[in-house]
Every structure is written in C-alpha cells, then in structure tokens.
Structure 1
Amino acid sequence: MIELRTPAEIDEMRPAGRFVASVLTATRAAADVGVNLLDLDALAHDMIRAEGAESCYIDYHPSFGASPFGKVICTSVNDAALHGLPHDYVLRDGDLLTLDFAASVGGWVSDSAISFVVGEPRPGDLELIATTERALAAGIERARVGGRLGDISSAIGDVAHEAGMPVNLDFGGHSVGRTMHGDLHLPNDGRAGRGLKLRAGLVMAIEPWFIPDTDEIYTDPDGWTLRSRTGSRAAHAEHTVAITPEGPLVLTARD
C-alpha cells in the first residue's frame, strides 16, 4: 500500500534527511587515496551510534541478497553500480566511488546516494556523474502534485538517452517512510502522463544510476554488489523527496 504523509509527518521526517545528508558529507570528505572502504563504513557506524539512529542496511536481507547486508553503508567502486558491500579494499587514485546510505531517525527513514572520483578522474567519469545528477534534478523537478509517476521516469530517461546511455529498469526509486523500501517502484525510464497520479504527501527516493554502454548487470560473488556486465564504470545519484503543494521538497539536501 502506498501511503501519503501529512505535513506534520513530513516535518518529522526532516531530521532523518538531515542526518543521512550529514553522513554522506562526512564519508565523502573522508574518502581519499589510501582509505579503506571498511573505514568509511566504521565512520558511518560511529555517526549512527552518536545520533541514536538505526541502520536500514545492517540487517537488510531482501530476496536478491545472499545474506543480511552486515554493513551500514554501500560503497560501490568503479564497475560496481549498486549495493557495493564494504570490504577490505584501499581506495586508489582515480577510483569512481558511490556512497549510498539510508537510516531511520525517530522512526522515519531517508535514503540518499552520491558518486564522485577519488583523486584524478579518468576521461568520461565527470560527465557520467554529471549526467546522473542532471537526471536526478530533472526527476525531482517533475515530482509535483497533479503529475504522473511516468513524468518522473520519463524526465530521468530523457537525460540518459540524450547522453546516449541505456537504462536498466530492474532497480530504481521507491517510496520511503517507516521503512526504506515501500510499495512504490519508480523506474528510471518511462512514458510521461502514465502511472500513479502524484499527490501531496507522497515521499519517495528518486535514484537514477547509469552505465555508459550497457543496462546489464551481474551479482558479484559477495552476494550483494551489482556490477556492470561490460566492466564499465557506473554512477548513482539519489535524494529522498516529499511532494508538497508548494513543490518538491528534498529532505536529504546536502550543504
């Protein structure tokens, strides 16, 4: 069931959004050449404890995961597109890193992701990241009362297609509330004017992710990390957004 949140409930969701944004800001600042992915996970874990928050990942065990995730942040490096399981890996110059983090504060969840390059970027990496961020901005702009879910999907897909990138439809955005993944599924491509009518109080994670030359992925032997079939790099951008009468409200906006 897709639930709508009252204005008071959306206000109650703001601390979770601010916290998730603060963790991504801190872990991005800490990510550098020579830093271990496990250190980034430990930093996020320390911030969860200090906040009195709850991890959405550590016990997460959906049908596509081999076991409970066991960590508190996703760290996807280079050809890892989604769900990167933190492991004993030391970041190298030029690595493209995605951090994806969700947590519950006061019983409300927010979810967000950011991609960036550690050290000197390779040709094409910055444009890939910029395309993903443009798609996120385009999707957020269409998250308005009276529109359709397909308007958001179409806006995201249009940015990808204009850049010549294919779009995977297996994983996309989702509704957010008391749990991380609600019933709503938001594909990263679609037809405008189709799908669920957008109403005030709908809260969702909008999350385009692109690989320049393929929409095919496979699961790493770790049972979690999803990698590009061609070995090409991937980028991912995500915000938790509430639809309000005044327009889209980005709960996970970073300073």
Structure 2
Amino acid sequence: MAPSRVAIVTGAARGIGAAIAKRLAQDGFAVGVLDLVEDNCKDTVAAIQGAGGKALALGADVSNAEQVTAAVGKAADELGPPTVLVNNAGILRDNLIFKMTEDDWDLVLNVHLRGAFLMTREVQKYQTEQGFGRIVNLSSTSALGNRGQVNYSAAKAGMQGFTKTLAIELGKFGITANAIAPGFIETDMTAATAARMNVDFEQFKEGAAAAIPVRRVGQPEDVAAVASFLASEESGFVSGQVIYVAGGPQD
C-alpha cells in the first residue's frame, strides 16, 4: 500500500513555511498548515485551496506538548496519517550576549529545538506505522556563527545535530531526516532585521547580494524547491544531510 501523502509544515502562515506548504500541495500532498494562531494560516490555506490543493489550518504553540499532540491528531483525523514533517517554526530575539536576557534565550531555544523535538516525536509514530517518512528541519547559515544571534545560532546548530541523530535512529523504519540551512532569504523576518538595524530594506538586500556568489538574495521558493525534493520518495537515499541554500559555499 502506498504511504499516505500528508504533510505538516510548522510556521507556515508566511515566509519560507508558507512557500514550502504551497509547494508540497503542488506536489500532491494534503498539507497541515500550522502556526501559533490558527487564523493566521488562512491566507496560506486559501492559496493552496485556490490552486486545487487540500489544506487544513492548525493552531499550536510548538513548544507546548499538549497543543502539539492536539494539532497533529487533528491533522491525522482530517487529512490522514502525516508522513512528511517540515519543522520550520522559528522566532528571532537578536541581541549581543551582554544585552541578551534569559527570556530571549529560552524563547528562541524553545520554539526551534523543543518545538522540533515535540513535533517530530508526535509525527514519527505515524511515519513508523506507514513505513515511510520524511523529516525536513530548517537550520540556517547562522549555525556557523552570526553576531547578535548567540541564541538563534545555538538553536540552528542544534537543529543539525538533532537531524543527524534522527537519521540514525529512524532510518530502519523508512524515515529520512535532513536539514536545510538557508542563507539570506527575502522574508518579513529579514525585513524586521533591517528595521532593527535602521537600514533601508532595499539597501540591506543589495548589500547582502553583493557578498553572495550568485549575486542575488534568496526567495522562499528557493528553499521550497529543496524541501520538495527532500520530501519526495526519490530522495530516499539522502539522509542526515545539511543542505545550504545560500547562493554559494559556506565555511
């Protein structure tokens, strides 16, 4: 029996998560569009449904175990057993270490790492039963270190170790786990970073593009294209990898 074609994408109300959700819907997956507030998912869901796809809005704080269990259960009941999970949910609380608060640290680590752990623990049960699964975790070039992001960098580096261990533990069940590490992607989040730095966003993008070998900044669709491959059946011999989607090599 062919595995269920159901995906859950976290942080899918906008930006990279929305682009991945739309792309997976194009690929024929029914998509659970998950974000902190269910209502915020309506644009992504409407775009998928408008293109003839199937989507369900899900509201959950991914760092809350009870909410995660409820959201994944709802997706399984209404769409079918989830076999693809994209852990994309994330937040920024940037600051230099001497200004960073405990809350800045805890919030970022909880959403990225605890969130990915809780979502994966819940979804892998369905993947194991189906004998097929694809886990795609969003890391970042910031995992290599980035000024003002000691919390975010630690979380994104942690996501890579998390991914590699999942690949080792779950491979025998037909489940792969890979990470995508985007570089500069044009999103609301990068626009907010420019605003925090009091830099015009267009100038911010121009400066970033000048340092990227392909001479442009990335788009959410660039990340979605890689996620599409990693979620596919034909990617089955690729596992435990970190793929940098950054327009050039990374150190």
TM-score, normalised relative to structure 1:
0.30
TM-score, normalised relative to structure 2:
0.30
Please state which structure has a larger fraction of its residues in helix. Answer: 2
